[in-house]
Homo-oligomer: A and B are copies of this chain.
Amino acid sequence: MSGHVDRLLASFLKYLENNSFEGKPAGLYEAKNYLASLGGKRARPIALMAAAEAANGTIETALPAAWAFEMFHNFTLAHDDIMDRAVMRRGKPALHDQYDEATAILAGDNMMLFVYQRLMNNYPNEVSIPLMKLVTQTGIEICEGQFMDMEFEKLKRVKEDSYLHMIKLKTAVLLGACLKAGGIVAGADEQDLEYLYDLGLNLGIGFQIKDDLMDAFSDNPKLGKVKGGDIMSNKKTILYIKALELANEQQGLELKEWFSKEVANNSEKVQAVLALFRTLKVEENVEAMMNTYYHKAYQDLQKLSFNNQKMEPLQAFVGFLAGREH
């Protein structure tokens, strides 16, 4: 089934290549092209295109919106990386590190404006307005999620539902918006648009939980990341939150102690925290939580009224992101 994902990715990359940024001053547009080229899975445009095909639309109609939503994502990454002082992005220097911070702020702003331009120039008003309302509301929520994430860093303890709300805003709403946008460009009805959005939300939350899990437990961490990176940087992921829930007083104190300091020997710290996680069965508990969201996503997929044969690319995409096929 991954043939569909590869096919959609290839279409998107071709469109991206044919639509590189050109303009003056050259330095500004060069920075935008660097940002656009940083790549990654391109999950959001693939989601949008798969949803459009499911709703009986064409890739051609979906491509400008797929580009716009991916560039919107890149705009948020450029600014988040400044705020989070992240140096690397997908194994390459982050935009503000490759150029400078002022360029990264400006290239992000400029990129966001091109999102609206692309939508207005490529769709009739009755399609571009719903797409712009969607990307605007989603963007507002992403800002709120990012702000919450930064606030959490200063808190001693974050509750599980606050954390889930934060990752919903920071990550999942954009995947929901992409799937819904695919439905919009293909003319799907309101009920299906709602199911597509919910599917994206659940898939996105599940995927973000998986991201936290992989950071600690996978021997094959994501490109540009090291195993246990979240533990080293005292990040209060769902693993830490769940561990504190499951811990007795002594274990809780030990966890908080590790997560309140920088240490010289990170390897010792990661080992100690992972040992605690194992004792508390954190991986099993968080995996069960992830699977609940993935299960909801599969239920949303069932609710869609689309032709079964047309659904194959979307099913392939869900499997691709939920990790059931590789």
Residues of chain A touching chain B, judged by Cβ–Cβ distance below 8 Å, are: 23-25, 27-28, 79, 82-83, 101-103, 105-106, 108-110, 112-114, 116-117, 120, 125-126, 128-129, 132-133, 136-137, 139-140, 143-144, 146-148, 150-151
Contacts and interface: CB of A to CB of B under 8 A. Distances in A.
A85 to B, nearest CB: 9
Contact of A105 (B79, B132, B144): B79
Contacts of A128: 129
A140 B105 contact: no
A147 B28 contact: yes
Contact residues of A: prevailing secondary structure: helix
Contacts of A83: 101-102, 105-106
Nearest to A120: B133
Contacts of A101: 82-83
Contact of A136 (B116, B139, B143): B116
A147 B83 CA distance: 21
User: Copy number in this complex?
Assistant: 2
B27 A113 contact: no
A321 B316 CA distance: 60
Contacts of A139: 109-110, 113
B27 A109 contact: no
A151 B79 contact: no
Contact of A106 (B103, B120, B146): B146
Highest count of chain B CB atoms <10 Å: which of A109, A110, A117, A137: A109
Contacts of A24: 144
A147 B129 CA distance: 30
A110 B143 contact: yes
Nearest to A32: B143
Nearest to A23: B144
A312 B147 CA distance: 46
B112 A25 contact: no
Contact of A140 (B113, B125, B146): B113
A110 B140 contact: yes
Contacts of A129: 120, 125, 128-129
Given A25-B148, A82-B105, A147-B28, A140 B112 contact: no
A83 B96 CA distance: 12
15 contacts: A25-B144, A27-B151, A79-B106, A79-B109, A103-B147, A105-B105, A106-B143, A108-B109, A109-B143, A110-B143, A113-B140, A113-B143, A114-B140, A117-B136, A129-B129
